[in-house]
Amino acid sequence: MLEISNIDVCYGDLQALWDVSLTVGGGEIVTLVGSNGAGKSTIMKAISGLLKPKTGSISFEGICVNKLPAHRIAELGISMVPEGRRLFPQMSVLENLEVGASAREAKKARHNTISWIYELFPILRARARQRAVTLSGGEQQMLAIGRALMSQPRLLLIDEMSLGLAPLLVQEISQVIKDINKSRKLTIFLVEQDVNMALSMADRGYIIEHGRIQSEGAARELLCNERIKEAYLGISPGGKAG
Amino acid sequence: MENVIQAIVSGILVGALYALIAYGLGLIMGIMKFLNVAHGSFLILGGYVSYWIFTLWGIDPYLSVPLVIIATFLTGLILYKLTLSPLLKLPDIEMRVANSLLVTFGVIYVLDNAMALTWTPNSRSIMTSYTGEAIDIFGAHLSITGLCGLGIAILVAVALYFILSKTYFGKHVRAATQDAEAASLCGVNVQRTYLISCGIAVALAGVAGVIVVSSYSVTPTSGLSWLLIGIVVMVLAGEGNINAILPAGIILGLIESASIFVVGAPYRQAVALVIFIIVLMFRPQGLFTGREQKSI
Amino acid sequence: MTANWKKLLIAGVVCALFIALPMVMELGTNILNLLVMLFIFIILSQSWNLIGGYTGQINLGLAAFFGCGVLVTHFLWKAEVPIYLAVLAGGVATVVLAVIIGLPTLRLRGVYFAIGTLALAEVLRIVMGNIFATWVKMPGSYVTTYSLLPRYYLGLVVALIAVSVVYFVTNSKLGLAMVAVRDDEQAAQVTGVNTFKYKVLALLISAFLAGLGGGVYAFYRLSFYSISLVFSPLWTFEPLMAVMIGGAGTLVGPVIGSFFLVILSEVFALTLGEAHLILFGVLFILVILYFPYGLVGSVDQVRQLMARASRGRLWKAR
């Protein structure tokens, strides 16, 4: 469904990604993990159109998207939950959701979609008229996900969902994501710092370090991989944590 | 006592016109963080369009408003496409504002000279059957053109409020203002939203121009003084605070009216500008906003 | 070091040329008028260059400084003060005006400084227009003894002063501070630079130059039908155009830009008529949008490109 081939991405003169390639198949949950500054968010920005790769190509369902503006990519069916949520602070919960349904088809269906979002995250219905900036961190994350789902995407990108959230909340939300993936066959690509959570949710995973893909494989295998355990899970050889 | 009532009434009517001028300025500044100092010149342009429609086809200026709106809306689209959209690639807001100031300063030069060339530097104004006529209520003269101005200002205030809060386009505008990148991730075509907003803003300048040409007069270079009034009102209302523009305009009108008693008519503009400097120095967020910056 | 001597030599030759020219040739009133206006533009554009180009503060009230210089010089000269002293006094008076205008407005955030100065200049224009609602004239004796040559030389001298002042200021510690303020005011403040002080200094020197320019203009024009015209925003805008087109923040830029504006303006006026003004406006807009370094900067950019290209070739050769 999503194919990234050999992209280089730069911020001005600073190169952040070197020759990155990965694929996401329909219906999968794929994750990309790595430490801070490894290039995870850069990949998300490249896919969603906020950054343009210098070389290489990104194609979605056969269509080459790396030259398209972000809003066109959103219309094509890729929706992103950005890092830091990036809600519209002075607009209400309901209005945030409505803006998420800006594409024509999504706009027509928005009333149904909103009801579905309220089912997924009941707290949002309670807060419908409140301004987004008054919500708690967890509620904001739910709203951000809800907003991204309003456009009825076929690929959902999630950037650093767990940042700043209590572990219990993260579990709750990741369960909702897993359910949507199963029930709606929604393909999900998430980048995460919380390697444990990401690899437990996903079908497949990639590890990125210093702007280059280091490993890939089935999530279960990566979880058991010794090097990964040591580097990211703080489990030293011999099984002792910390 | 009669004088005071007259002063208050005139102040309100004039203030409504002032608010009308500020709407377009406030929209561009609030939404895109551009300062369009050519706003006054577009006002004059609107006045000229109305003048020629009246002179050539005899259409009453207030009836010709839709035509003026179309003409100035298109001008606004051109302004955005040619001179303002290249500035979007500047990352820093301060740089954006500063460069938009310089660029639109250039637009003033081009536009004012173009208008002088096309229509001569002579002053134009529209005289209709009701120019100079007034309604008398409680001993105060309410000029017909002033009342029209008040009516249009109220209409614009209501329309803008409605558009911004109830329509999808308005939501796109507010989303783009609060977080342009996030908006484009949601599928909002931010560039097109900016384009249309710019068109609306310049169209509002044109509408103000219709009132100016029928109540006062227009010359190709008089745009600057109207611009400064618009800026004063915008600063009084607070950057981005569209709903406060009508009250801010009326307050300015009242202050000006009152100052006539103190310093006399020729200096009333100077008084407004001095008030402006004082407000900028001591309360730059405007009279109507608290410490937090209000957003559209 | 040799580069500096070369530049100095060229400057010296050009100056000698301008000094000697009227003495060896009969230039005619048209050309002399043009050159006087050129000198005035060089003065005004260097004035704006100092506060706008080097210090990064967009001053939209240059006309106020210019007009002040015109007025003060005019009345002092009318009162039999020798013209050189009157022009100097015009400059000093403008510095006083700059203190009054500058101290409050320089505390405002960037764009509000620009609007504040624009507003203050407008206030001054309105007030002066009302106070001096009629002709501001010189007695007939001044008219009969009028000759262009003294205006030419006064203009040339003050223009040289303006360029020299900008040269010395920008090559001093003050100049470093000014550029620091322009490039990143916050960073400068954090490293302990008193940015307000330097902004004020830059504005005062800028005002002095503009006031001198006004003085030259008063000497040149003698009488004014409508004094509010010398406070017109055109006197801000056209020097600003000259600076941006020529290259803000350079020594030679404003000179080139002034030359461009004044001389080419004459040339185009003959062929295009009034429309040439529109052409310059469009050029200005293009410069702001696409060539922010002006003509001088573009030459530099071309030079850099060529240097990079030749370096590339050198590497390949190895």
Q: Which residue has the tokens 């405007």?
A: B286
Give C222-239 pLDDT, tens digit per residue: 888 888 889 999 999 999
CATH number of the domain at C216, please.
1.10.3470
| Total number of domains in chain B | 1
> Which residue range forms the structural domain that includes residue C160?
27-317
Domain-located, residue B54: yes
**Chains A–B, number of C-beta pairs less than 8 Å apart:** 76
Domain-located, residue C225: yes
Looking at B172-181, C62-71, C260-269, C282-291, which range is the least confident one?
A: C260-269
Are the beta carbons of C116 and B280 closer than 8 angstroms? Answer: yes
Q: Do the strands A2-11 and A55-60 form a parallel or antiparallel pair, or are they unpaired? A: antiparallel
| Total number of domains in chain C | 1
- pLDDT score for C260: 87
Q: Per the CB < 8 Å rule, is C58 touching B98?
A: yes
Domain-located, residue B116: yes
The C-alpha of C16 sits at a distance from chain B's nearest C-alpha, in angstroms, of 36
DSSP class of A177: H
Residue of C51, C106, C111 to mutate when probing chain B, most B C-beta within 10 A: C111
C274: nearest CA partner in chain B: B117
Candidate CATH numbers 3.10.310.70, 3.40.710.10, 3.40.50.300, 3.40.50.970; the one for domain A2-77+154-241: 3.40.50.300
Q: Per the CB < 8 Å rule, is B106 touching C285?
A: yes
Is residue C204 pLDDT above 70, yes or no? yes
Domain-located, residue B195: yes
| Angstrom distance (rounded) from CA B12 to CA B16 | 6
C280 in B contact zone (CB under 8 Å): yes
- How does pLDDT run along chain B (296 residues), one tens digit per residue? 677 888 889 899 999 999 999 999 999 999 999 999 999 999 999 999 999 999 999 888 888 999 999 999 999 999 999 999 999 888 788 888 989 999 999 999 999 999 998 988 888 888 877 777 788 877 778 888 888 999 999 999 999 999 999 999 999 999 999 999 999 999 999 999 999 999 999 999 999 999 999 988 899 988 998 999 999 999 999 888 898 999 999 999 999 888 887 777 777 778 888 888 888 888 878 888 765 555 67
- pLDDT score for B295: 65
Q: Beta strands of chain B (E only): which ranges?
A: 134-137, 140-143
CATH number of the domain at B144, please.
1.10.3470
Q: Per the CB < 8 Å rule, is A99 touching B190?
A: no
Domain-located, residue B291: no
Domain-located, residue B290: no
Domain-located, residue C91: yes
- pLDDT score for C318: 41
The C-alpha of B202 sits at a distance from chain A's nearest C-alpha, in angstroms, of 26
Domain-located, residue C242: yes
Give B213-229 pLDDT, tens digit per residue: 998 889 998 899 899 99
Are the beta carbons of A198 and A35 closer than 8 angstroms? Answer: no
Taking contacts as CB-CB distances below 8 angstroms, the residues of chain C near B109 are 237, 241, 277-278, 280-281, 284
Is residue C313 pLDDT above 60, yes or no? no
| Angstrom distance (rounded) from CA A61 to CA C227 | 71
Domain-located, residue B124: yes
Taking contacts as CB-CB distances below 8 angstroms, the residues of chain C near B269 are 122-123, 126
Could you tell me which chains touch chain A, where touching means 3 or more CB pairs under 8 A? B
pTM of the model: 0.89
Domain-located, residue C66: yes
Give B226-272 pLDDT, tens digit per residue: 999 999 999 999 888 898 999 999 999 999 888 887 777 777 778 88
Domain-located, residue C15: no
Sheet holding A2-11, edge to edge: A14-24, A2-11, A55-60, A63-64
- The domain limits of chain A are 2-77+154-241, 86-152
Q: Do the strands A78-81 and A155-159 form a parallel or antiparallel pair, or are they unpaired? A: parallel
Q: Per the CB < 8 Å rule, is B186 touching A82?
A: no
Give C80-115 pLDDT, tens digit per residue: 889 899 999 999 999 999 998 888 888 887 888 998
Confidence of residue C194 (pLDDT cuts 50, 70, 90): confident
